[in-house]
Chain A
Amino acid sequence: MSLLEVKEVTHSYGSSRSFWRSAKEEHVLSDVSLSIEQGSCMGLLGTSGAGKSTLGKVILGLEKPQKGKVIFQGQDLYTMDALTRKRIRRDLQVVFQDSYSSVNPRLTAEKIIGEPLENYEKLSPAEQKRTIADLLDMVGLDAEDMKKYPRQFSGGQLQRISIARAIALKPKMIVLDESVSSLDMVNQTNILNLLNELKSVYGLSYLFITHDIRAAYSISDSLTVMEKGKIIEVCNDKNEVFTSQHPTVKKLVASILPEHPRNRTISRGKSRA
C-alpha cells in the first residue's frame, strides 16, 4: 500500500455564482491521481500556474477538493474524525518557499521548533531543550542559535529552521513547496544534501514541488510533470524526463540552463567554440 494516494482530485477557485453571471468553472486541478511510496521522493514539476501548489495544499489537508479523495496511510484525509486527523497531522509536515512568512517573527527559534513538540510530545523542559538542540545540530545550526529571533537569521538559515520544525516529530512525509527556490546555489545544494541525508536516516518521503528541473532531479526518485491542472507526464525513473516526447516536457528540458558555457543555447559567434 502506498503511503499517500491522490485519487481523481478536481478542484477550482472562484466559482462564485451570482444573479448576473452563471458559475464560471475554471479547473485548477482536474482529475489528478498520484501515489507516493514510503521512503521515496516525488518531484512535481510545472511552470507557474500549473496547479502544483494547489495540489500540495490538497495533499496537506488545507484545501478541500471539490471531487476526489486524498488517502494518507489508508485514511481519507477529508472524512476522518478529529482525533485521527490530529494523529495523522504529525506524520504529514510542510516546508514553504518563503521562510520569513512561515514563522512567527515574535518567537525565538527555540519556540518555533518547540511548537510541534509541545503539541504532541509532552516532554520535560530539559528534554525538550535537548531535543531542539539536537534538531538544530542536525540541520547544521548552532545550539546557541536557539535564542535568536527570525530576523536575526538569513533566508537559508531560516529555511533550515523550518526544516527542523518539520522533522521535529519524525514525520512520514514532508511536502516541500518550492522550498529551495529562493536560496542561492551554495545554500540550495546544502539543503538538498541535508534533505537527502534525512531521507536515508528516517525513511522520509517527500513531495518536492518546484519549477526547477535541476533541483528536482538531484533529490527525486520519480518525476511528475503538470500543466494546466493536469498531470501530463509521469516518469517513474527520473531519467525518463529527458527522453519524454511530450512537447511541454521537452520545452522544460530545453530551458535547463547549462552548467558550462560551452553548452549555451543562446547562439552567438563565440559560443560552441
Chain B
Amino acid sequence: MEKQQNVLQVSGLNVAVKSQKGVLPLVQNLNLELKPGKILGLVGESGSGKTITCMSLLQLLNQKAMHIEGSIQLHGRELNGLKEKEMRCIRGKEIGFIMQNPMNAFTPVYTIGNQFVETIRIHTELTKKQAVDLAIASLEKMNLQNPAKIMKMYPFQLSGGMLQRVMIAISMCLRPAVVIADEPTTALDVATQLQVLKELDRLRTECGTSVLLISHDLGVISELADEVAVMQNGRIVEKADVYRLFDFPQHEYTKKLLQARPVLPVNEELSKLVI
C-alpha cells in the first residue's frame, strides 16, 4: 500500500558509462520516491550525478554508451527498458522536464507557438485552434504579458527569464504527474529567480504535481523543497525532511554544504521576526 502512494519510485538505480578504460560508475544504488504534490530537492556539487539521474529517469541517455540498471516506476509502471516509442508518449505528457538553459532548449528556427502547439498536439486529440487557445491560456497563467504576441516570436527574441517561464508553461500545460526541474533558476537573475520559483509552487498546489527539484543552491532548496536528498559522487548520502536537514545535518558532506552558505544579516533579522 505504501508503495502505491508514490508517484515516482526509483529503486536501486545504477548508471555507468562504458569507456575505453572500463566501466565507470556515475550513479550508484540510488533510491528515490516522489509523493503526490510534494517537492523533492536534490542537492550536490557539480559532477555529483544530479543531471545524470534525471536524464536516466527520462531514459534520455545513450543506451549504447551507458549502462542503466534498476527500477524506475511511474504509477507502478516500469520505465526502465521501455521502447523509445512508448517512452515518447510519457515524456512531456506524464513527466515534464525543465532544463537548465532555456536558450538551448528551444529550436531557434521555429516560433514559440509552433513548438508549443507541437507538444500539445502530439499528446492530445486537440485541434490546432484548441491547442493554440490552451497554449495562450497557459502562458497567461505564467504571468507573461501579451501571450498572443509571444506565440509568434522566436526564442532568441525573448529574455532568459521569459523563455524559462515559457518552458515551464509547456511542461505544465498537459498536467504531468511529475515535473523534473534541473537547475531551473541557475541561469536567471535573482528577481526572476523568485518569480519562477513562485510559479513552480503555484502549479504544484493547483495541479498537485510532484516536482523533482535539482539545484546546487541551498537557497532554492530551502525556499521550495519538502524533502531533500544530498548527493555526492553518485550516491545519496543523506535524505531527510528539509527542516531536519537544515537543523540537524547528519552527514559530513551535508554539514560542509550548509557551511558554504553565505550568511546575511537580513536572514537573521527575518528569522527573529518570524519567531
Interface residues of A, Cβ cutoff 8 Å to B: 47-49, 154-156, 182-189, 192, 211-215, 217-218, 239, 242, 251-266, 268, 270, 272-273
Contact = CB atoms under 8 A, between A and B. Distances in A.
Contacts of A266: 197-198, 201, 223-224
Given A242-B265, A262-B243, A255 B219 contact: no
Nearest to A212: B190
Contacts, number: 123
A254 B190 CA distance: 10
A257 B222 contact: yes
Contact of B226 (A47, A184, A270): A270
13 contacts: A48-B189, A155-B46, A215-B262, A255-B190, A255-B191, A256-B219, A257-B194, A258-B222, A259-B264, A261-B243, A261-B246, A263-B267, A270-B226
A258 B46 contact: no
Interface string B172-199: 0000000000000010011111100110
A185 B260 contact: yes
Interface of B: 45-47, 159-161, 186, 189-194, 197-198, 201, 205, 216-220, 222-226, 242-243, 246, 256-257, 259-267, 269-271, 274-275
Given A261-B222, A261-B242, A188 B260 contact: yes
Q: Which of B189, B191, B194, B267 gathers the greatest number of chain A CB atoms within 10 Å?
A: B189
A263 B257 CA distance: 18
Q: Which of B46, B160, B265 gathers the greatest number of chain A CB atoms within 10 Å?
A: B46
Given A47-B190, A263-B270, A273-B243, 16 more contacts: A47-B189, A184-B216, A185-B218, A187-B45, A211-B189, A253-B266, A256-B190, A256-B266, A257-B217, A257-B223, A259-B262, A260-B271, A261-B222, A261-B223, A263-B222, A270-B226
Contact of B190 (A156, A239, A252, A258): A252
A264 B222 contact: yes
A211 B274 CA distance: 26
